[in-house]
Structure 1
Amino acid sequence: MSVLELSGVTKRFAGVPALNDVRLNIRKGTVTGLIGPDGAGKTTLMRLIAGLLVPDSGAISVLGIDAIQDPLKVQQVIGYMPQRFGLYEDLTVQENLDLYADLQGLPDAERQARYAALTHLTGLAPFTQRLAGKLSGGMKQKLGLACVLVRPPQLLLLDEPTVGVDPVSRRELWAIIYRLVREENMTALLSTAYLDEAERCNEVILLHKGELLGQSLPAEFSQKMAGRSFQATLPGMNKRSLQSRLARSSGVIDSTIQRTGVRIVMEADVQPDPAALPAGIRIEPVEPRFEDSFISLLREIDGQPALPEVSLARAVPSGTDDEEVIIVDQVTKRFGSFSAVKDVSFKVKAGEVFGLLGANGAGKSTTFRMLCGLLPATDGHLRVAGLDLGHAPAKARARIGYMAQKFSLYGDLSVLENLRFFSSAYGLRGSDQRAQIDWALQEFELKPYANSTSQKLPLGYKQRLAMAAALMHRPQILFLDEPTSGVDPLARREFWQRIAALAEEGVTILVTTHFMEEAEYCDRLVIMAKGDILAEGTPDELRARVQSDQLPDPTMEDAFVYLIEEHETGRRSDAVPAKS
């Protein structure tokens, strides 16, 4: 039975098609993933289905209701959670639930039973009197989902519900979604930037530039890539260097660091040529995955065979080899009686890519802000670029670049105006300022958008602009707070190529991320939970810590989930391994 049908749906904004002749059908009782890069039309499609937009042409049927002729009736039977769901942060969890029950007209007699079911399902039962603004990112997402579900919908629309939440919360959200589908007979359509999540869906819909590229089982997309995916290993060579070398090899359309080596995807009917690769390299075939198919399709459509070359030669090395340029020594940060960071210590060497991982609310961003001189530590000592942040925070800030989680751009200013503002704030003037701006526009391919306001940029270009702004003054150390949250896989690959280039030039990089595959790009990392450091080491060392008969080849996500749950429960996690 079909719950959603689109036939010939087209939607334009200012004459530019956001969706073009889209035709699809979603079956009852399924979880369908909506996949596509930035600007693909995913959010536009969601809003059309929800009756919040009207198409220029075509037909939309939702549970047998004409969404164009009767949008209010559609909105009464569906649940829609947009990317920026409207929680009221000054209200408690219970007050938010009450408000949405009022808005959805849930009878008083049904409320207590529904609240009990939802708070149990989402794990929010102990927190009903906590202000929504005091919840972690994962808990906010769960509260948003609970508010959407106050009146049980037949069709649930979720626009990137797992963006910005940690792997533990992501797994919990997926368990909730499948339980709803199974126990409440719902149908779910969700968009996601995490391609491993596509493999958890019953079916996936692939969009690109408003065009429907396909609708099928994830495995059917993967099977088309049979014989084209390989794992390359070269002992003694840095994995980032190997990945960069392979990305430029003939016939390679994708290369990503995976576990102890580099995963490569080849063009159709092309095999890796050992003679053209570094001596001693080992190449083994591996099973294809959905992400391989996704990247291959986009490369083919856009005519982009591989990642572009990057040259960030204006960077300044942060120090000599083995010099410790970031020192965190027994640092504590308290807000009133609450300790966000507790007696934390770690050191970062010059030229390292150092990862700071943790669940939502672990204290990562607080640690970041202290290291940037934006927050004073309550106790302990912080040194960055040879300077004590307790005595010379302003001088230290001149030597670092900071790319905030929400991209601290001025939305009403153009790309060029943002670059002028940030370069001026960093003390650049005259010909030096003009040269840096010209470099940024050229290197980050921002020239076509120079006069566009930053708020209207696609997310991937906002990311480029934010990174360019953070590099205007040639910092020795670069702080990146969840820099790839929400951007599509192509933008993430390009971003990490730039990070690798900076690291090659000797810039020290401290990064937080919720993408566990990105943690593999780090030389070393720490994992935090509730203000404490749980583990420190290389990605290989942390994965080895959780290796067992049940997890013979763990991923970084497996390691992360195991360590977090071990910390919370004091016992070994039985979480299902992430798909590789």
Structure 2
Amino acid sequence: MNHSSVVIAKDLQKSFKAENKKLPDVFALQGLNMQIQAGQLTALVGPDGAGKTTFLRLIAGLYQPSSGSLEVLGINAAKNPQQIQNRISYMPQRFGLYEDLSIQENLNLYADLHNVAQEIRQQRFARLLDITDLAEFTERPAGKLSGGMKQKLGLACTLVRSPELLLLDEPSVGVDPLSRRDLWRIIEQLVKEENLSVIISTAYMDEAERCAEVYVMYEGKILEQGTPKQLSEQIRGLTWQAKPPETMKARTLQAHLLENHQYITDAVPKGDVVRFMTKKNCPELPSGQLPQGTIVQSRQPELEDAFMFFLHQAQHQAQSIDQNDHSQELVQHIQVEHAVSQGPIIVVKDLVRKFGDFTAVASTSFEVQQGEIFGLLGPNGAGKTTTFRMLCGLLPATSGTLDVAGVNLRHARAQARAKIGYVSQKFALYGNLTVLDNLKFFGGAYGLSGKRLHQQIENAMQQFNLKPQAISGELPNGFKQRLSMAAALLHQPEILFLDEPTSGIDPLARRAFWYTIGELANQGITIIITTHFMEEAEYCDRIAIQDAGKMLALGSPKDVRQQANSAGATDMNSAFIAIVEQARAQKRQSKGAGA
């Protein structure tokens, strides 16, 4: 055993029995070889189904390897899983907090489970509560915490004992940029001060960039490994940015670039430009392939570029559908029959929602035009989900005006709901039904029947590349999300509401998803979306930032970045943090002045 390695995997395989006994076993890991170093942050990145969670569970001793060998902290994982579990801590994606217990009671319970000695508990708790900023909320029940606070409490419970190795499975999925930043401060502090070894799986490439070593996984194999810099260097000379002509939206230029898939691997809007990557065999885009007035310049390669390059390469080798072809294929069957409306399609004036004494949304006003992509952003617990639910007709407003698609939502909710489609944050379809049965059920619920229902289902299956007999609950996250979209669009709604639709899906699936959204908007469907991925705000025509129930910013992504420019914000992530922190600081000052 090399004592500088915390994990050594040799030809590691893990297979699972198929649900249908006639089918062959499913291989989640296929001959993995890894040597993970001690005392550093190591990232596992890859699309849905790459094997990241399976690998973490094998390290944690929760699964047995099918073949090959795995050593964790010098211990044979197949023979002595309990020995490993005594020395590591593991935080799964859905960490089991006890919702009706307080923060303090959750910490006590996990300390009891891990046999943490009484004499070291108080010191350990004090440190964890301090670094997670939860010290003043110890009596609050876990069920009443925001998403970000729950994740921090989950991390604190995972660390009630001091482990030699910490495993984190996508710890920041579903939390806002402020909470994500806080979570990373805690993790980096622990690595530095306690010389802790951490293995983290993540869907965020900016998180992987903070790690010493990155493993890119795909279909149970390692595609590439190295430092973020080493991986980025592999694509030097292929990364560019294009500034569209004044009259063109960045997402329109992105769609144009993706159509040139013989030259382009990837394109994504960022700020006022589109960042794109050319293919190895044609590092320069031929002249005449871009709209007149587009300004192109080269830029430094980043880890996300390298990640997309490796995945496209792997998919191409597997002769699967090219992502760009597929993205266009996703939208070719959409037929929108909506006439262009005069004036805004959503009007919100002085909207208020109270829960008892608590004001979740305080006097909010805005309008949304037809065919606009409108982003509702805010930290966990900011009131954006409440606003969103009122707009969908799922929650009545306490006071104010709310018109959706020409219908007063406060007086005719059922009538308005017939004109909208809704995709919830968590997969809300029937997991035990097939794709086809789900679409039949939801089509019927939207009032479709006979020939029209059959036609719409046929279109949806082609449009979203869905297999009719697949069991919905067994689909990878990206495909579950496609099925949710297909169900929401069956009745050809005028407005589509999407509540954190890309939470937990990888960058590749997010690209294809946003391509589809852009096409829907171009064809007159209005999109209202909430997201915690700030780079996704760049796809929106306008965004609203809320916190503590109040509107802090409203305008185009460029307007919002300019509003935060005095704080040195250069991208949407830093702009979001600056705007929220500024408002909170002012609130504290006014409270202090009033005291």
Fold shared by both chains (TM-score > 0.5): yes
Which of 16, 28, 43 does residue 13 from structure 1 map onto? Answer: 16
Looking at structure 1, the residues matched to 291 and 209 of structure 2 have their Cα atoms a distance apart, in angstroms, of 33
1:570 Cα offset (Å): 3.0
* In 1: Cα distance, 2:364 partner to 2:587 partner: 23
Match of 1:467 among 485, 492, 495: 485
How much does 1:21 deviate?
Answer: 0.9
SS at match of 1:436: helix
In 1, the alpha carbon distance for the partners of 2:339 and 2:184 equals 42
In 1, the alpha carbon distance for the partners of 2:375 and 2:15 equals 41
Which residue does the alignment assign to 2:374? 354
Q: Counterparts of 2:459 and 2:493 in 1: how far apart (Å)?
A: 15
Aligned partner of 1:576 in structure 2 is none
d(CA) in 2 for partners of 1:285, 1:347: 38
User: In structure 2, what is the Cα distance between the partners aligned to 1:203 and 1:332?
Assistant: 48
| 1: CA distance, partners of 2:339 / 2:129 | 49
1:256 aligns with 2:268: yes
Could you say if the C-alpha distance between residues 316 and 93 of structure 1 is closer, same or farther in structure 2, counting changes exceeding 3 Å? farther
Q: Deviations over 1:332-373 (max 9, x none)?
A: 111111111111111101110000000011111111111111
- Say yes or no: does 1:268 pair with 2:280: yes
Shift of 1:99: 0.8
Answer whether contact 1:312 1:502 (CA < 8 A) is retained. no
Preserved contact between residue 45 and residue 208 of structure 2 (Cα < 8 Å): yes
Give the match for residue 465 of structure 2: 445
Shift of 1:318: 6.7
1:279 — aligned with what? 292
1:233 positional shift: 1.1
1:48 and 1:527 mapped to 2: Cα distance? 41
Corresponding residue number in structure 2 for 1:311: 332
| Equivalent residue, structure 1, for 2:578 | 562
Q: How does 1:374-389 map to 2 (within 5 A)?
A: 374-389=394-409
RMSD after superposition: 1.4
Shift of 1:87: 0.6
What is the CA-CA distance between 1:316 and the residue it aligns to? 3.7
The corresponding residue for 1:207 is 217
Instruction: Tell me the TM-score normalized by structure 2.
Output: 0.94
Match for residue 119 of structure 1 among 123, 126, 129: 129
Matched residue type, 1:490: L
Contact 1:4 1:60 (8 Å CA) reproduced: yes
- Structure 2 residue aligned with 1:365: 385
After TM superposition, list the pairs within 5 Å mapping 1:139-178 onto structure 2. Answer: 139-178=149-188
Calculate the TM-score normalised by the size of structure 1: 0.96
Residue 545 of structure 1: aligned partner: 563
Code of the aligned partner of 2:341: T
1:412 CA displacement: 1.1
Q: How does 1:474-493 map to 2 (within 5 A)?
A: 474-493=492-511
Q: Is the 8 A contact 1:316 1:507 kept in 2?
A: no
| Matching residue's letter, 2:332 | S
1:335 aligns with 2:355: yes
1:391, distance to aligned residue in structure 2 (A): 0.6
What's the counterpart of residue 95 of structure 1? Answer: 105
- Name the SS for the 1:518 alignment partner: helix
How far apart are the structure 2 equivalents of 1:177 and 1:238? 38
Following superposition, the deviation at residue 279 of structure 1 comes to 1.4
TM-fit CA distance, 1:314: 2.4
Partner of 2:198: 188
Distance in structure 2 (CA, Å) of the matches to 1:87 and 1:185: 27
Distance 2:337 2:499 in 1: 21
- Residues 33, 198 of structure 1: 8 Å contact kept: yes
- Corresponding residue number in structure 2 for 1:238: 249
Unmatched tracts of structure 2, length 5 or more:
18-24, 589-595
For residues 436 and 269 of structure 1, the distance between their equivalents in structure 2, rounded to whole angstroms, comes to 41
Question: Separation in 1 of the partners of 2:173 and 2:313?
Answer: 27
Aligned partners of 1:109 and 1:329: how far apart in 2?
A: 57
Q: Do the aligned partners of residues 141 and 474 (structure 1) sit closer, same or farther apart at CA in structure 2, a change above 3 Å counting?
A: same
Q: How does 1:520-531 map to 2 (within 5 A)?
A: 520-531=538-549
User: Offset of 1:305 from its aligned partner?
Assistant: 4.4
Q: What are the superposed Cα offsets for residues 86-127 of structure 1, whole Å, 9 maximum, x if unpaired?
A: 011111111111110110011122211111111101011111
Q: Are residue 288 (structure 1) and residue 301 (structure 2) matched? A: yes
Task: Provide Cα deviations, 1:371-405, integer angstroms capped at 9, x if missing partner.
Answer: 11111111112110011111100000000000001
In 1: Cα distance, 2:323 partner to 2:167 partner: 34
1:55-134 map, 5 Å: 55-134=65-144
Give, in angstroms, the shift of residue 195 of structure 1.
Answer: 1.2
Deviations 1:496-536 (A, max 9, x none): 01101101101111001111111000000100111111011
Amino acid at match of 1:11: K
- Conserved 8 A contact 2:333-2:459: no
* 1:278 CA displacement: 1.3
Q: How many residues align?
A: 567
Amino acid at match of 1:402: Y
When residues 262 and 102 of structure 1 are mapped into structure 2, their CA distance, relative to the original with a 3 A threshold, is: same
CA contact (8 A) 1:311 1:501 kept: no
For residues 169-209 of structure 1, the C-alpha deviation after alignment (integer angstroms, 9 at most, x for no partner) is 11111100000111112110000011121111111011100
Distance in 2, Cα, partners of 1:189 & 1:47: 12
State the AA in 2 paired with 1:3: V
Q: Which amino acid aligns with 1:291?
A: E
The residue identity in structure 2 corresponding to 1:482 is E
**Equivalent in the alignment of 1:393:** 413
Aligned with residue 510 of structure 1, among 528, 547, 550: 528
C-alpha separation in 2, matches of 1:516 and 1:451: 36
What's 1:300 paired with? Answer: 313
Whole-angstrom CA distance in 2 between matches of 1:571 and 1:273: 53
- 2 CA distance for matches of 1:279 and 1:54? 59
Distance 2:105 2:549 in 1: 28
Which residue number in structure 2 is paired with residue 26 of structure 1?
Answer: 36
Shift of the alpha carbon at 1:132? 0.5
Counterpart amino acid of residue 359 in structure 1: P
Query: Is the partner of 2:257 in helix, strand or coil?
Result: helix
Distance 2:336 2:423 in 1: 16
Q: 1:36 is matched with which residue?
A: 46
Conserved in 2, the CA contact under 8 Å of 1:247 and 1:255? Answer: yes
SS at match of 2:433: coil
Shift of 1:319: 3.7
- Supply the distance in 2 between the matched residues of 1:33 and 1:105 (Cα, whole angstroms): 30
Cα distance in 1 for partners of 2:495, 2:504 equals 24
